[in-house]
């Protein structure tokens, strides 16, 4: 379960922290924006953000795992801090080149080169300019008060079958509310954001990690 959780975190966190895309076409004034238009608007206008989150993984047989909770900060390009507070503590921090994963219970830190950690993940989904080259985007019917878009990888060797993103039009523009990732093992990770802040000024120290004294270190860079 920890490996599945980490793969999902890297995919989502690094995607959100990717460089801003070039301006994309917006929906016409005559029609309400669908999920694709809201996603493009969110990508265009969001430089940094923070939110609380809940996350749950459902396996191929429909069994649901424990609900995880925590806090997420990101700043483009490439910086993020994803911290789980329950049911066990874990921090995943990136300064844009190195990713530190700290398991508190194991007192172990794993260092990974960001470019290597992203290989095979759907991080390109929110990366911007090449989104249409990597994924096929399709608007889905509105549900749960959200506009949905499904992104299907063009590469048949991707570790994910699809990614679904739920957005809504907020007072200050599109808001990303939920994400679902369905992987090659037919597991679905569902994450929901709350208490969001858009484009906050985040301290540089947010994206630095000091290895705790005595912690075991596994350097995979």
Q: Is the pLDDT at 88 greater than 80, yes or no?
A: yes
127 or 189, which is more confident:
189
Residue 7 is predicted with a pLDDT of 59
What is the tens place of the pLDDT at every residue in 22-81? 544 444 444 568 999 999 888 888 888 899 999 999 999 999 999 999 999 988 877 889
Q: Does position 4 have pLDDT exceeding 60, yes or no?
A: no
Average of per-residue pLDDT values in the chain? 83
Domains, in order of start, for the chain: 2-219 (2.50.20.10)
172-188 tens-digit pLDDT:
889 999 999 898 889 99
Strands 216-219, 108-113: pairing is: parallel
According to the model, what pLDDT value does residue 12 have?
A: 61
CA dihedral 97, 90, 167, 76 (to 10 degrees): -20
84 pLDDT more than 90: yes
pLDDT band at 127 (very low <50, low <70, confident <90, very high): very low
0.85 surpassed by pTM: no
- When pLDDT is averaged across residues 135-144 and rounded to a whole number, the result is 93
SS3 annotation, 131-178: HHHHEEEEEEEEECCEEEEEEEECCCCCCEEEEEEEEEEECCEEEEEE
Confidence of residue 5 (pLDDT cuts 50, 70, 90): low
Which one has a higher pLDDT value, 21 or 107?
107
């Amino acid at each position: 379960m920890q490996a599945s959780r980490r793969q999902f975190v890297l995919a989502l966190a690094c995607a959100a922290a990717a460089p801003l895309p070039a301006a994309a076409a917006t929906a016409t004034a005559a029609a309400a924006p669908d999920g694709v238009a809201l996603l493009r608007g969110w990508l265009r206008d969001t430089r940094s953000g923070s939110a609380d989150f809940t996350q749950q993984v459902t396996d191929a047989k429909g069994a649901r795992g424990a609900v995880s909770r925590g806090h997420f900060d990101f700043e483009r390009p490439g910086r993020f801090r994803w911290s789980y507070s329950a049911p066990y503590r874990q921090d995943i921090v990136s300064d844009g080149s190195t990713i530190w994963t700290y398991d508190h219970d194991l007192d172990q830190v794993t260092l990974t080169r960001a470019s290597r950690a992203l290989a095979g993940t759907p991080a390109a989904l929110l990366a911007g300019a090449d989104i249409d080259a990597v994924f096929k985007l399709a608007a889905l019917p509105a549900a749960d008060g959200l506009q949905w878009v499904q992104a299907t990888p063009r590469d048949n060797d991707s570790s994910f079958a699809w990614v679904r993103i739920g957005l809504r039009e907020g007072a200050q523009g599109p808001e990303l509310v939920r994400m679902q990732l369905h992987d090659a093992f037919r597991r679905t990770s569902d994450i929901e954001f709350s208490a969001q802040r858009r484009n906050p000024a985040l301290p540089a120290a947010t994206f630095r990690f000091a290895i705790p004294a005595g912690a075991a270190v596994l350097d995979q860079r």
